[in-house]
Chain A
Amino acid sequence: MSADAAHVEAKECKSFTQRIEIVGTYILDMVENWGRSWIFLYRTILGVISPPFRPRLIITQLYQIGVQSTLVIALIGVFTGAVLAVQGEYTLSKFGATAFTGSAVALSLIRELGPVLTALMVIGRAGSAITAEVGIMRITEQIDALRSMAVDPMRYLMAPRFVAGLIAVPLLTAIFIVLGIFGGYIVGTGLLGLSSGTFITQMVHAVGTVDVYSGFIKSIVFGFIFGWVSCYKGYTCGFGAVGVNRATTQSVVTASVAVLITDYFLTSILTRLIME
């Protein structure tokens, strides 16, 4: 083997090991990050269940996450219901079943679209704000200041946001669903010429308690994901403006993807349970 060939072979071998090293480092980082996020969740839950309890901070967060999101959730709820009515009526007309438009609107909103769209909207509006706020507190040493004053940031900062998310998301989901049905009803009866009595009767017949439970369970789980991801990403934010920028983007993307993936599994499990 010539010296050149040996040199090329050595270079290729080095480049191959470098690639393996990069992949290995990436996997190790991912596993480490995953582990950290679970430890963070454990410490947050510990902060939630152990005194001192801070109801005033929870109320402040409920205002920021819940009350301040209400308008946008209401608006999107009304228009989602309206779109569902139009699309539902069009699809069902192909089977001569437009009478079931009310059922389709209500079931879609209660079981699926209400919890998912509400969660995605809250993640986009309040989740990004939480991540940015906590992230800025991290980089301006405010979290270190809390710790230096013997105040546990998990109890003081994370627990109230986590609890507020768990309470606010299901309540916002309920608002979304009610206004969505209202939007569907207005468009269905006012513009599409559906009978008001049929719309409501079919809806009442089709929607059962299990459907409401299903939507409620989903909204709680999504509230949990929202609080966990947005707080964790802020708490582990990197340095400077770039760090906050990256953390905020990651927070919204991770939480949104987690909601959609979890939704699939929850839907499968809950539907099977209902059918049994």
Chain B
Amino acid sequence: MISIRNVHKRFGDQVVLDGVSIEILPGQTTTIVGPSGVGKSVLLKLIMGILEPEQGEILVGDKNITAASNEAERNSIRQDLGVLFQSAALFDSLTVYQNIAFPLQQRCGHSADEIHDKTRKIITEMNLAPYSNSYPEEISIGLRKRVGMARALITEPKVLLFDEPNTGLDPLVGQEVYDLIDECKKEWHFTGVVISHELPEVFQVSDIVVMLLGGKVIIEASPDDFRNSPMPEVQQFLHGRVDGPIHIQ
């Protein structure tokens, strides 16, 4: 579903991604983990076409987003993507209802009634009805994530990208977000890409775990294989040890 092929990305002199290749199969959820500053979010922005790599290519389905020559071409590829941002990135000036309806309103081919029906449906499914007239600042961060999820799902994207979905949340709300991802996966059958450093909690939603370090993929394995990997970097990261081959920046 998503092919990341030999992607290189640098900012000034700093090499962030150095020949990263990952194959994400349809229906699978791949979690990309690694220490802070290793380029996980950069990789996500490359998939969205918000950043451009110096080298390599990224295919969403059979469309090459890195080869798109203009924003219109990239936008047509982005129609297949939904994103849940780290902070949910809801629009402050819009209510919960308006935030969720927003992606449909911006696309051609949807009547006002259709938009209303779809928005109402997803609001009910996500248990957001009591908050539909609230503004983002009036609801909790957990609810904001739920709204962000509803907004990402309303266009029924083939791929859903999650940027550190439970960062800054307490363990209970964090677990609720993972349960929500799980539920949504079962119902919407999307291909997922999760960026996280919350181990091992994130394994709950992962089919494949990829670890980035020093701009490269050092392991790509199932959660169980990842857990049992003898690689010292993996074990250090998994158990949050300060001493080891990974140097804290």
Residues of A within 8 A of B (CB): 140-142, 144-145, 147-152, 156
B228 interfacial by beta-carbon distance below 8 Å: no
A140 touches B87 (CB 8 A): yes
Which of A141, A148, A156 is in CB contact (< 8 Å) with B87? A141
A156–B45 Cα distance when bound, in Å, is 20
> Which residues of B sit under 8 angstroms from A140, Cβ to Cβ?
87, 89
Closest residue of chain B to A43, judged by CB? B71
Closest residue of chain A to B76, judged by CB? A150
B 51-92 to A, binary, CB cutoff 8 A, 1 in contact else 0: 000000000000000000001000110110111011101111
A144 touches B50 (CB 8 A): yes
Which of B17-25, B101-109, B112-120, B238-246 is found at the contact surface with chain A?
B101-109
B89 touches A149 (CB 8 A): no
B48 touches A148 (CB 8 A): yes
A141–B161 Cα distance when bound, in Å, is 14
Known A-B contacts A144-B45, A144-B48, A144-B50; the reply to A150 vs B89 at CB < 8 A is: no
> Which residues of A sit under 8 angstroms from B79, Cβ to Cβ?
150
B75 touches A152 (CB 8 A): yes
> Which residues of B sit under 8 angstroms from A149, Cβ to Cβ?
78, 102-103, 106, 155
B 129-151 to A, binary, CB cutoff 8 A, 1 in contact else 0: 00000000000000000000000
A142 to B: closest C-beta gap in Å: 5
A54 to B: closest C-beta gap in Å: 10
Which of A141, A151, A152, A156 is in CB contact (< 8 Å) with B85? A141
A138 to B: closest C-beta gap in Å: 11
> Which residues of B sit under 8 angstroms from A156, Cβ to Cβ?
106
B86 touches A147 (CB 8 A): no
Q: A141-B89, A147-B50, A148-B83 are in contact. List 9 more A-B contacts (CB 8 A).
A: A140-B89, A142-B90, A144-B85, A147-B48, A148-B81, A148-B161, A149-B103, A149-B155, A151-B106
A150–B109 Cα distance when bound, in Å, is 15
A212 to B: closest C-beta gap in Å: 37
> Which residues of A sit under 8 angstroms from B102, Cβ to Cβ?
149
> Which residues of A sit under 8 angstroms from B107, Cβ to Cβ?
150
A145–B84 Cα distance when bound, in Å, is 9
> Which residues of B sit under 8 angstroms from A148, Cβ to Cβ?
48, 50, 78, 81-83, 161
> Which residues of A sit under 8 angstroms from B86, Cβ to Cβ?
141
> Which residues of A sit under 8 angstroms from B89, Cβ to Cβ?
140-142, 144-145
Closest residue of chain B to A136, judged by CB? B92
A140–B102 Cα distance when bound, in Å, is 18
Closest residue of chain A to B85, judged by CB? A141
B91 touches A142 (CB 8 A): yes
A152 touches B71 (CB 8 A): yes
A92–B49 Cα distance when bound, in Å, is 65
A150–B155 Cα distance when bound, in Å, is 11
A142–B151 Cα distance when bound, in Å, is 13
A141–B89 Cα distance when bound, in Å, is 6
B68 to A: closest C-beta gap in Å: 12
> Which residues of B sit under 8 angstroms from A144, Cβ to Cβ?
45, 48, 50, 85, 89
A248–B91 Cα distance when bound, in Å, is 20
A141–B92 Cα distance when bound, in Å, is 12
A130 to B: closest C-beta gap in Å: 13
- For B78, B89, B92, B107, the residue with the greatest tally of chain A CB atoms inside 10 Å of its CB is B89
Closest residue of chain A to B75, judged by CB? A150
> Which residues of A sit under 8 angstroms from B78, Cβ to Cβ?
147-150
Closest residue of chain A to B81, judged by CB? A148
Closest residue of chain B to A142, judged by CB? B89
> Which residues of A sit under 8 angstroms from B83, Cβ to Cβ?
145, 148
> Which residues of A sit under 8 angstroms from B155, Cβ to Cβ?
149
A32 to B: closest C-beta gap in Å: 13
> Which residues of B sit under 8 angstroms from A142, Cβ to Cβ?
89-92
B13 to A: closest C-beta gap in Å: 13
- For A144, A145, A147, A152, the residue with the greatest tally of chain B CB atoms inside 10 Å of its CB is A145
Closest residue of chain A to B91, judged by CB? A142
> Which residues of A sit under 8 angstroms from B92, Cβ to Cβ?
142
A-B pairs with lowest CB-CB distance, top 5: A150-B75, A145-B89, A141-B89, A148-B83, A150-B78
> Which residues of A sit under 8 angstroms from B82, Cβ to Cβ?
148
* Residues of chain B from 35 to 55 with CB closer than 8 A to chain A in the complex: 45, 48-50
What are 16 inter-chain pairs, A to B, with CB distance below 8 A? A140-B87, A140-B89, A141-B89, A142-B91, A144-B45, A144-B89, A145-B83, A145-B90, A147-B78, A148-B78, A148-B81, A148-B82, A149-B78, A150-B79, A150-B107, A152-B75
A266–B56 Cα distance when bound, in Å, is 50
